[in-house]
Amino acid sequence: MKNYFGESTPKLGFGLMRLPKLKNGRIDIEQTKKMVDMFMEAGLTYFDTAYVYDGGESEKAARAALVDRYPRESYTLATKLCAWMGAHDEKSAKQQFYTSLERTGAGYFDYYLLHALQAGNYKTYDKYHIWDFVKEQKAKGLIKHWGFSFHATPEILDELLTVHPDAEFVQLQLNYADWENPDVTARANYEVARKHGKSIVVMEPVKGGALAVPPKAVLDVFKSADKDASPASWAIRYAASLEGIITVLSGMSNIEQMADNLSYMKNFKPLDTEEQKVIHKAQEIMGNIKSIPCTACHYCTAGCPKNIAIPEIFAAANQQMIWGQLEKGRQMYAEAVKDGGRAADCIACGQCERACPQQIDVIARLKECSARFNQ
């Protein structure tokens, strides 16, 4: 589809979910400023945060590193309202919008999203009248464009876009590893969005960093094709090469990741035919590897009554399953549980599964991890 919404937007966006951290766990604002400067100097403009990222610290970091340092018209800023996390009623859900304006100091949002719609929560946005609320803010000039981020089935996406045809864009998890993954339904969701004529912002193109360090068999395929290209470059260029993409968000955590991404996205070129064949080989290999599809968003941990570091435990298990590194996996598990609950401490309350954007059977997976690590 030609002349789609967002066609001229640079195809790399700076996701502010995984910003660099200091030893005390706080966001490293000075390093973030340097990364913002690199991004802006490369002619890139799209920044993405959310009310719930880092307990609000991400939005504050956006102000310190971007909003207070650059003319408002020189960049675009996206943030999100989460009606099912950080809210308990309609008033508190809507308050997130005003709090985000205050935290960022941006004056208005270029892109505003209903956050992480899933099978178990999307009706909350109807219950709290959030769809009408964001349209009201657009009418006031406080939002330029609005849409929603989505983690559910193509059937639900089709329903939402049929009921809300004025949504201007959709944010979807699209990466080469999940393209045919039945738990993520990336391809089917992409096709539904395009059927409705919607442009797409891509999230998780590197699958929470997992595709930056893929299994050796995948890495060998990439290195055979181009010894100098990073694994992340294949993942991000793959997503950016799809039709109808506004931008591809990369949650960069240090200057090195920023430099690598800019090296191939400053002057982005879509994958050619031979490069697409390389991706197909990687997809075949990834499809045969068993792992836990966790992207370490940490939505599951906020309400865990046993303080279980679920993403870190899953990373330890994946270290063994994907890489066969048994001892390192055990060490990672020991580190994950030293200050909190073990996998065996799960009481199966289910809050983690309700929050998980990846639709992981967290309770069952924790039982597997308990058996794997004998605790």
pLDDT value of position 3:
64
Centre a 10 Å sphere on the Cβ of residue 17 and count the other Cβ atoms it contains. Answer: 22
What is the pLDDT averaged over residues 176-201? Answer: 94
What backbone phi and psi angles, to 5 degrees, belong to 341? -75, 155
Question: Rounded to an integer, what distance in angstroms lies between the CA atom of residue 118 and that of residue 252?
Answer: 25
Evaluate the CA torsion angle 99, 105, 107, 109 in order and state its sign.
Answer: negative
| pTM, to two decimals | 0.86
Answer yes or no: is pLDDT of 183 > 90. no
pLDDT per residue over 27-76, tens digit each? Answer: 999 999 999 999 999 999 999 999 999 999 999 999 999 999 999 999 99
Q: Rounded to whole angstroms, how far apart are CA atoms 314 and 317? A: 5
- How many Å apart are CA 143 and CA 111, to the nearest integer? 7
Which residues have a Cβ under 8 Å from the Cβ of 8 and sit 6 or more positions away? none
**Tokens encoding 88:** 């308990």
Average pLDDT in the chain? 95
The reported pLDDT for the residue numbered 123 is 97
Domain ranges of the chain: 12-287, 310-373
Query: How many whole angstroms separate alpha carbon 167 and alpha carbon 164?
Result: 6
Domain boundaries 12-287, corresponding CATH code: 3.20.20.100
* Cα separation, 13 vs 272, whole angstroms: 22
Each residue's pLDDT tens digit, 87-135: 999 999 999 999 999 999 999 999 999 999 999 999 999 999 999 999 9
At 287 the pLDDT is: 84
Q: Is the pLDDT of residue 2 over 60?
A: no
With residue 110 as reference, give the H or E element that holds it. Answer: strand 109-117
Note the pLDDT tens digit of each residue in 155-175: 999 999 999 999 999 999 999
Radius of gyration of the chain (CA): 20
